[in-house]
Amino acid sequence: MWLPLPPEEIEGLPEGFRYLFWDGGKDGEQAFPGDPAQCAMYVVPYMTPLPVRVRPLKRLTNVRVIQTLTAGVDDMTANLSSIAPGVRLCNARGVHEASTAELALTLTLAALRGIPDFVRAQQEERWASGFRPALADKNVLIVGYGPIGAAIEDRLTPFEVARVARVARSRRTTARGLVHATEDVLSLLPDADVVILSTPLTDATRGLVDAGFLARMKDGALLVNVARGPVVDTGALVAELERGRITAALDVTDPEPLPPGHPLWRAPGVLISPHMGGPSSAFLPRAKRLLVDQLTRFARHEPLRNVILTTGADPAETAPEGCGGTDPAGPDGPGTNGL
């Protein structure tokens, strides 16, 4: 079993397996800890460059499970041709909800209340007071209503928002109310003061937030992206920001990392964090619990959690609705902040 965390630091791992530590190393060229052909479960290193994460795939000829520590698995699904058939791909549902939802709320509040302006004023020793928008009484639209989207709504509840609208792949009703289907999103945008993206990156969501989507947002609305950068058309967003019609708070961008000189850095009304939705003190304890649970299930031949797909299987025979990424409803399924 290849683990990106030292096995001696994970309490409760089931006996009977040989645990090998591999996180790719600082330069990404760390030697494999053993023969990849003998690896039964590959836990993908977290927060490492894509070439590092996929480097072992073609040599994992007998792997049975690939477990990511991210909610999104778009990096793995883009490399399915390198993975042997019959491999179960699992995501890290349950690991990132708290941390990502916290950041979504932080970015929303910081952008609305003008925290970046206060920081700049402090650096200039300038007292810059005045009225700022509050989150209270705002209409919020959550696009991608799965575990992370629901966790975001949990944190919105005490802030006296006027209304929360929810969007997922398919229409359904939850204890909190109606979840709209993705095709309804354009009709919901004109009423939203804050639009929070927590949907994964899939063929259905790539470029979802395009010029037409942004044009439907009301004047002065805030776009918050804790999903994946390519869910948003960056050029279209920059154009709207430069017109000053909307504002944005982005934990993810396209491209990413955002290179020096990119117009998004200096676009007016934008707050950018460097893809920090997942990496917080909440990550390690939840990641360790997930790994112990999955490995225990594997040892006992019990069904694994969070199975997104089985390579080589008919898509209709893979994970049922509810197993994927950030949204149990499907194309909001395997995917967010890269997280």
pTM of this prediction exceeds 0.85: yes
What's the number of CA atoms in the CB half-sphere (13 Å) around residue 81? 1
Q: Which helix (H) or strand (E) holds 310?
A: strand 307-310
For 122-165, write each residue's pLDDT tens digit.
999 999 999 999 999 999 999 999 999 999 999 999 999 999 99
Q: Is 301 a catalytic residue?
A: no
DSSP per-residue string spanning 3-57: ESS-GGGSTTPPTTS--EE----TTS-PPPSS-GGG-SEEEPPTT--HHHHHTTG
Residues contacting residue 25 through CB under 8 Å, at least 6 positions apart: none
Sorted by where each starts, the structural domains of the chain and their CATH numbers stand as 2-95+280-317 (3.40.50), 97-272 (3.40.50.720)
Take residue 53 and report the two structure tokens written for it: 């994460």
Q: How many CB atoms lie within 10 A of CB 94?
A: 16
Take residue 34 and report the two structure tokens written for it: 């053993």
For 231-276, write each residue's pLDDT tens digit.
999 999 999 999 999 999 999 999 999 999 999 999 999 999 999 9
Q: Identify the CA nearest to 198 among candidates 255, 156, 138.
A: 156
| Tokens 């909001």 -> residue | 332
For 1-18, write each residue's pLDDT tens digit.
999 999 999 999 999 999
What are residue 20's phi and psi, to 5 degrees? Answer: -120, 135
Q: Which of 96, 180, 262, 275 is catalytic?
A: 275
Is the pLDDT at 181 greater than 50? The verdict is: yes
Query: CB–CB of 275/269 below 8 Å?
Result: no
Q: Identify the CA nearest to 337 among candidates 169, 152, 163.
A: 152
Peptide bond before residue 255 is cis, with ω within 30 degrees of 0: yes
**27 pLDDT band (50/70/90 cuts)?**
confident
Q: Identify the CA nearest to 218 among candidates 335, 293, 138.
A: 138
